[in-house]
Amino acid sequence: RHPKDHDWAFVNAGDWLSDTLSGMRDPNGLNTVGESDNFHGTLRPYQKSGRDWLYFLTCLGLGACLADDMGLGKTVQVISLLLTLKEKPRDGQKPSLLVLPASLLANWKAEIVKFAPSLRCQFIHPSEIDKSEFVNIGRHPEIAFKSTDVVLTTYGMLLRQNWLLDLDWQLVILDEAQAIKNPGSRQTKAVKQLKAQSRIALTGTPVENRLSDLWSLFDFLSPGLLGSVAKFKQFVKALENREHEQYAPL
């Protein structure tokens, strides 16, 4: 028989690899992280599953998109995740960075105080710190963030505080991640310069106007996964021309 007609290579997976591959194929079978005594709330079953999935991918250094509809608790899932990372630290663990629209700063602050007051937060925004503190933190961010679990800032601040782009983060989280749907914008380019071990995008509308919105989002989460922007546009055009029957469900 032709070599293509039968298996010609195989892998014997150890326990860790076998469990990891199984978890990626069926997230429902993941081991639950467990609730922290410092989490002041109760996650719904689907929120626990979401948190466990985010933790699983974060530990593997993979990107994740949490696209639950508005009102289903993306914020509280991420807060639970950040608390888990704090309480299960890795060697040399660095703070995480949360980037969001300025209009959501107050909401995130209130939700963290409500659900995980033990999280040590630092806000990088003029509504939270004065100019002199901005200067001091920017000069020695590693010292300023030494005891910080999560740094919260806005998309606009990334363009004005370039030192944020020079740091290494444990996890970078984008809220309202559709803000980077335009790959050519200064804002998107700044976000994609951020260095992190893992990345998460939160958005209830991963596709706002066109399927090509997905490319920029996944170029942030997993660079190269969807190929070049030109190749992806060709793929989208073929779908729009009904060259693929699978386009209808999309």
Q: What is the pTM of this model?
A: 0.84
31 in a structural domain:
no
29 in a structural domain:
no
25 in a structural domain:
no
1 in a structural domain:
no
83 in a structural domain:
yes
State which amino acid sits at residue 104.
L
In the chain, the number of structural domains is 1
State which amino acid sits at residue 205.
T
Q: In the prediction, which pLDDT does 15 show?
A: 65
CB 197 within 8 A of CB 171: yes
CB 94 within 8 A of CB 169: yes
Q: What is the pLDDT along the chain (250 residues), one digit of tens a residue?
A: 455 555 556 667 666 566 666 666 666 666 677 788 899 999 999 899 889 999 988 888 889 999 887 778 899 999 999 999 998 877 778 999 999 999 999 999 999 999 999 999 999 999 998 888 888 898 898 889 999 999 999 999 999 999 999 999 999 999 999 999 988 899 999 999 999 999 999 998 877 777 778 889 999 998 888 888 888 888 888 877 776 565 555 4
Q: Give the number of other Cβ atoms within 10 Å of residue 124's Cβ.
A: 25
3 in a structural domain:
no
CB 100 within 8 A of CB 236: no
Q: In the prediction, which pLDDT does 56 show?
A: 87
Q: In the prediction, which pLDDT does 201 show?
A: 95
Domain carrying residue 88? 36-247
Sheet holding 195-202: strands in order across? Answer: 64-66, 195-202, 168-175, 96-100, 150-154, 121-124
2 in a structural domain:
no
Which CATH number characterizes residue 230's domain? 3.40.50.10810
Q: In the prediction, which pLDDT does 25 show?
A: 61
- Residue partners of 143: CB distance under 8 A and separation at least 6: none
Q: In the prediction, which pLDDT does 145 show?
A: 93
28 in a structural domain:
no
